[in-house]
Amino acid sequence: MLLHTTIEQLVRNNYVYAMALRHLGIRFFEHPHTTVAELCRRYAWNEQHISSFFADYHRLFRNLSLKEAQSCSIEFLLDFLRHAHRLFVRERLPFIAELIEALPVSPAHKDLIEDLKVLFPLFSEEFILHIHEEEDHFFHYIELLTQAKKEKKPSAGLIFKMQETHIGSFALDHETHDDEMRGIRRLTHNYHIPADAPTNLVVVLSALSDFDKELHLHAQIENEILFPKALRLEQEIRRSFMVHLFPPN
């Protein structure tokens, strides 16, 4: 069934396939009336392989679980969150930016499209800066804590760091970045898809909506799982540090 679906129908039903096509070097809006089978013949793709590729790609974007993250170690959570950051920066943001840039400014949706073309690049720049700051400072601090626990003593770098900061200060700072998508959500009226929206705009709004959900889950993992784990670890290191400085008689 999928093989005989046109590209426009495919991505209109599920925008994730637009990202899968992009990985294959295909911009979906340049082949709206071409079927998947016709693309396979044109580019000498194996039809069975392409069907499996689409299925795997769909599962990949539906495979995150807050419940699973609760039982993970701090080290694993840091790796997971860094991997998510790379996906955001290298995959999601460029994909959505490319779609928005290519949006034709139709009279019916002129204001929305023009505002997206201005607002999304500004959002992307600020979001990437936030990610780098988080990894360079907060994630690095947690790694110093985990290293101190393994070595059973705090390093000089950690001692200095603990004198000027603590997990609570990172948590407060994080709250100011917790809802980066607020402006875009308001602009799009919670990603509402107008009945007369062209396919390009349907894909953009769907991609933005799913990206917002990913960011919400990302923030939940940090706020509800990583921060409490890191706070307990910090308290443990502080106690051991005091014992190290002032051993009991």
pLDDT score of 14 more than 70 = yes
Closest C-alpha to 214, from 30, 111, 65: 65
Three-point CA angle 231, 181, 122, nearest 5°: 110
- Rounded to an integer, the average pLDDT of 93-118 is 94
Residue ranges of alpha helices (H) inside 165-198 are: 167-175, 182-187
Closest CA to 42 of 25, 64, 60, 61: 25
Q: What is the mean pLDDT of the chain?
A: 85
pLDDT of residue 61: 61
Residue 27, pLDDT > 80, answer yes
Q: How far is CA 232 from the centre of its chain?
A: 26
- Of 27-41, 108-122, 231-245, which range is least confident? 231-245
Higher local confidence (pLDDT), 71 or 116: 116
Q: What's the whole-number mean pLDDT along residues 10-39?
A: 90
Residue 198 and residue 8: Cα distance in Å, rounded? 10
pLDDT tens across 205-226, in order?
999 999 999 888 888 888 889 9
Tens digits of residue pLDDT in 144-185: 888 888 777 767 777 777 777 778 767 666 655 556 788 999
Q: Which long-range contacts (CB under 8 A, 24 or more apart) does 193-201 make?
A: 194/108, 194/109, 196/108, 197/109, 198/104, 198/106, 199/8, 199/11, 199/12, 199/29, 199/32, 200/29, 200/99, 200/102, 200/103, 200/104, 201/103, 201/106, 201/109, 201/112, 201/113
Residue for token pair 């985990």? 146
pLDDT for the residue numbered 247: 53
Neighbours of 165 (CB within 10 A): 15
pLDDT of residue 246: 44
* Dihedral class, residue 203 (left if φ above 0, else alpha if ψ from -120 to 50, else beta): alpha
Distance of CA 181 to the CA centre of its chain: 12
